[in-house]
A and B are shown apart, each in its own frame.
Chain A
Amino acid sequence: MHIRRVAALLAAAVVISACTSGGTSPSAGSGSAAAGGCVVGVSWNNFQQPRWAATDKPKMKQTIEAGGGTFIDADANLDNQRQLSDVDTLISKGAKVLVLLAQDNKAILPALQKAKDAGIPVIAYDRLIEDPSGSILYITFDNVGVGKAEAEAILSKVPKGNYVLIKGDPGDANASTFLPSGWNDAGLKDKIASGDIKIIGPKDGTYTDAWKTEKAQANMEAIIDQANAANKKIDAILAENDSTALGVVAALQSKNYGFPPLSGQDGDPANLNNVALGKQYVDVWKNSNELGKAAGQAALQLCQGKKISEVSITVDSSVAPAAGNTPQDFKTPGGNTVKSIILKPTPVTADSLDKVISAGWYADKAAICKGVDTSSSTAPAACK
């Protein structure tokens, strides 16, 4: 969702970056391919979002190099065509395994075919590739699980009461399908049916065009006014992601409403700061350091000639896949079946902020604890 939300903006950013980068050709990263060694080629769709350069890449590189492999990569700058030529370059530089963060899950298929012809196994990193032959390994975080973790945290804090549901863009399957089905897995639907939980505002939740913070704020303000007029108190708010949660906090502030428990996801610095300040209760965090590590491990094993189904990864127990450390079958929305390793997201509250800080997330302690009164008894321990 983060990715999607920013994709539109990035289309704009390309204009600038195309100028500033002076049209450099895909610069294959460090070192030349050592003969006989394991060369892992990584094709990123973009480096504009800080996360990839800050966490995913360093961790993946570190894992591969620690295992005796060589890491080479290229950034396609949001361009499908460029990503295809990047893959060509990576293959000609001697990549034995490819890790692809696809710009488009179908436009990447010609590159997949080339890899297959060359006998190179492919890992779809973070984003699915709709591969009809099912030959890829898909390594990602569990999106339904994110919704489940959000709702579990809020429901255990506020088991009964008036809820507001803030959803993302109506055209995004994450907003309309995956995350709400996670909420229902956690018991939201049953509690609504039993009458323990009542929804203020639209029963199906309030959608937020393009996941826009300002729109979420305007919607939330209207909902607060409506609740006040009806003499109802808002006890908890389920927001699907961090950009909408930020808008909800702005609305609560402008209305002096106080801060009922609120969810979000992404681990954005501003939101983790709100968690530390007690303005957002939970932020479901996808520790992409571990994702990078898992992909690095899988790449090394594939290099050594293991089949995809024989891969086994070891990650931190907090993100360990519910289905075990080996690839499982995954039915894609496009009707294909691919092997997948799906990591578990981590709910972060004020009590567990240290998890994020110690993991070396790109939001560091200074950013997370900004404005926290450390002398206060209610300040989170991680900030003291």
Chain B
Amino acid sequence: MANVTTTAPGQAPATPRFSIRGALTAAEIDFRLFGMLLALVAILIGFNVVNEGTFLRPTNMTTLAVQGAGVAVLATGMVLVIVARNIDLSVGSLVGFIAMSYALLMTDWLPNILGMGDDFPFRWLIALAIGVGLGAVFGAVQGFIIAYIGVPSFVVTLGGLLSIRGAVWVLSQGAAVSGLDPTFQLFGGSAQGSIGGTLTWAVAIVGSLAIIGLIVYNRRQRRRFGFPVRPMWAEVTIAAVGCLAVIGLAAFANGNYWPPGAATRYAQEHGITEPAGGLKIAVGLPWPVVILIGVTVVMTFLATRRRFGRYVYAYGGNPEAAELAGINTRWTVVKIYILMGILCAISAAIAAARLNGATLDVGQSYELYVIAAAVVGGTSFAGGIGTVPGAVLGAFVMQSLAYGLAYSGVNSSEQNIVAGIVLIVAVAFDAYNRRRGGGS
């Protein structure tokens, strides 16, 4: 997320006099994304002030990130769906269906029908693979009906929302299912479900190297093809800020220690004598956040560096032109929905692991949060406009409000009021900016 460079090879006009906007333009930083990052920081600081400095603690931010990860994962796909002038209302129900499948697979079907008991190796992986397969199939079916039969996506996925939620009921016969595979539970991101201090540092170092590598590679490529390059000061600043942010976040995440009770248990189980102040084990990045980072990188890559992504944006910008240019637009739409289905399976794994089971209402109204995240993140319903990192940021803007308000003791009705207003304000602000700034 620290990597806020845009990849569109836009023209960088020379700035006659210094201005923040001018500097951002020269550095090719997405103004909208930058503004959203500032808004997110402002929200977090605001809650910190209201809560007398107790809010901005590593533990709290970890909770916030884990709670938002499921919706953020889906938002990365919803961007592409909306960019291609479609909508997917079925994501919440599909998450619920796959979460219930995971739970039933691991508690009933695999052990009782196929005889894979608790000690069966990689049972969790088998369940996960089946879930991903289910997601892809559901996505493909919906995508096929939309693209090849020509039923509007709103209708198809509204039908999906209803019927898939009904199928959750049929699967579970109305009862909640609990008690998942211990390995699978790591997806939920509790203290045990985190990668720990050392690996977090490793992730940070890899991330920093990737930022530097990407900047160097981009500069070379632009030189090679005679594109204008960013000014050197911008390159260095972006690299420095990016690396600092990544390493700073890692240090912050590692400031979160295991809860004392769990640490004591761990010490006893591993025969370690606890030091006087208690054993301090860094929690580091929780698995849901690691998964989200991975998904964001892959989805950004798909959207900006692969032919598939180019087709999606081309189709969203002008469907007729894309068709005439020889793009197989129908197949592109089907692929978007398959991708969305797979993301539902990933999000469902996080949700099910967090609950250590599945209830009938897992994923309910996710579609609204996910669409809101994409839209707050700058995705336009007119099609053709929207970025993956923007949607992830949008998800976290919404989640930080929900978590912050709950943390401050505000009840859910008021939370919903605030969320609704923020959604409208964000889009209104965006529309205003677009008109003033003269397009994207």
Would you call B261 an interface residue if the criterion is a C-beta within 8 Å of the partner chain's C-beta atoms? yes
Judging by beta carbons under 8 Å apart, are A246 and B360 in contact? no
Judging by beta carbons under 8 Å apart, are A223 and B361 in contact? no
The smallest C-beta distance from B272 to any residue of chain A, in angstroms, reads 17
Report the bound CA distance from A223 to B188 in whole Å. 18
Residues of B close to A213: CB separation below 8 A: 176, 355, 359, 361-362
Judging by beta carbons under 8 Å apart, are B355 and A219 in contact? no
Please tell me which stretch of B29-37, B122-130, B401-409 contacts chain A, meaning at least 4 of its Cβ atoms lie within 8 angstroms of it.
B401-409
Report the bound CA distance from A253 to B262 in whole Å. 11
Contact with A along B348-363 (1 / 0, CB 8 A): 0001001111011111
The smallest C-beta distance from A208 to any residue of chain B, in angstroms, reads 7
Smallest Cβ-Cβ distance to B96: which chain A residue: A9
Report the bound CA distance from A258 to B361 in whole Å. 25
Please tell me which stretch of B20-28, B145-153, B302-310, B411-419 contacts chain A, meaning at least 4 of its Cβ atoms lie within 8 angstroms of it.
B411-419
Judging by beta carbons under 8 Å apart, are B174 and A371 in contact? no
Report the bound CA distance from A74 to B356 in whole Å. 37
Beyond A12-B165, A13-B170, A15-B162, whether A207 also contacts B411 by CB under 8 A is yes
Residues of B close to A14: CB separation below 8 A: 166
Judging by beta carbons under 8 Å apart, are A255 and B259 in contact? yes
The smallest C-beta distance from B156 to any residue of chain A, in angstroms, reads 14
Report the bound CA distance from A217 to B174 in whole Å. 20
Would you call A170 an interface residue if the criterion is a C-beta within 8 Å of the partner chain's C-beta atoms? yes
Question: Which B52-83 residues have a C-beta within 8 angstroms of A?
Answer: 54-55, 57, 59-60, 63, 66-67
Report the bound CA distance from A208 to B258 in whole Å. 28
Report the bound CA distance from A11 to B162 in whole Å. 8
Judging by beta carbons under 8 Å apart, are B176 and A269 in contact? yes
Judging by beta carbons under 8 Å apart, are B412 and A207 in contact? yes
- Of A5, A15, A253, A271, the contact of B361 (CB 8 Å cutoff): A5
Smallest Cβ-Cβ distance to B159: which chain A residue: A15
Residues of B close to A201: CB separation below 8 A: 409
A side interface size, CB within 8 A: 60
Judging by beta carbons under 8 Å apart, are A214 and B362 in contact? yes
Would you call A250 an interface residue if the criterion is a C-beta within 8 Å of the partner chain's C-beta atoms? yes
Report the bound CA distance from A373 to B59 in whole Å. 32
Please tell me which stretch of A29-37, A86-94, A113-121, A224-232 contacts chain B, meaning at least 4 of its Cβ atoms lie within 8 angstroms of it.
A224-232
- Of A12, A170, A228, the contact of B413 (CB 8 Å cutoff): A170
Would you call B332 an interface residue if the criterion is a C-beta within 8 Å of the partner chain's C-beta atoms? no
- Of B166, B258, B351, the contact of A214 (CB 8 Å cutoff): B351
Judging by beta carbons under 8 Å apart, are A270 and B176 in contact? yes
Would you call B179 an interface residue if the criterion is a C-beta within 8 Å of the partner chain's C-beta atoms? yes
- Of A50, A208, A210, A253, the contact of B175 (CB 8 Å cutoff): A50
Beyond A222-B407, A270-B178, whether A255 also contacts B190 by CB under 8 A is yes
Residues of B close to A9: CB separation below 8 A: 165-166, 168-169, 360-361, 364
Report the bound CA distance from A226 to B416 in whole Å. 20
Smallest Cβ-Cβ distance to A231: which chain B residue: B54
Judging by beta carbons under 8 Å apart, are A12 and B162 in contact? yes
Residues of B close to A230: CB separation below 8 A: 54
The smallest C-beta distance from A20 to any residue of chain B, in angstroms, reads 8
Smallest Cβ-Cβ distance to A16: which chain B residue: B166
Judging by beta carbons under 8 Å apart, are B170 and A16 in contact? yes
Beyond A9-B165, A201-B409, A213-B355, whether A243 also contacts B176 by CB under 8 A is yes
The smallest C-beta distance from B150 to any residue of chain A, in angstroms, reads 22
Contact-residue bracket for chain B: 35 or more
- The A interface is mostly helix, strand or loop, or mixed, namely helix
Smallest Cβ-Cβ distance to B118: which chain A residue: A371
Residues of A close to B188: CB separation below 8 A: 254
Would you call B189 an interface residue if the criterion is a C-beta within 8 Å of the partner chain's C-beta atoms? yes
Residues of B close to A271: CB separation below 8 A: 176
Beyond A210-B361, A250-B355, whether A170 also contacts B411 by CB under 8 A is yes
Contact with B along A67-89 (1 / 0, CB 8 A): 00000000000000000000000
The smallest C-beta distance from B280 to any residue of chain A, in angstroms, reads 14
Residues of A close to B173: CB separation below 8 A: 50
Most buried by A among B363, B364, B413: B364
Residues of B close to A370: CB separation below 8 A: 179
Judging by beta carbons under 8 Å apart, are B403 and A218 in contact? yes
Judging by beta carbons under 8 Å apart, are A218 and B67 in contact? yes
Report the bound CA distance from A50 to B176 in whole Å. 12
- Of B51, B59, B357, B364, the contact of A270 (CB 8 Å cutoff): B357
- Of A6, A204, A250, the contact of B354 (CB 8 Å cutoff): A250
Question: Which B340-385 residues have a C-beta within 8 angstroms of A?
Answer: 351, 354-357, 359-364
The smallest C-beta distance from A340 to any residue of chain B, in angstroms, reads 27
Judging by beta carbons under 8 Å apart, are B54 and A229 in contact? yes
- Of B57, B162, B360, B412, the contact of A209 (CB 8 Å cutoff): B412
Beyond A15-B162, A225-B407, A254-B354, whether A219 also contacts B178 by CB under 8 A is no
Would you call A198 an interface residue if the criterion is a C-beta within 8 Å of the partner chain's C-beta atoms? no
12 other contacts beyond A6-B360, A246-B355, with CB at 8 A cut-off? A5-B361, A15-B163, A16-B170, A170-B413, A206-B411, A210-B364, A214-B354, A222-B407, A254-B354, A255-B190, A270-B177, A270-B359
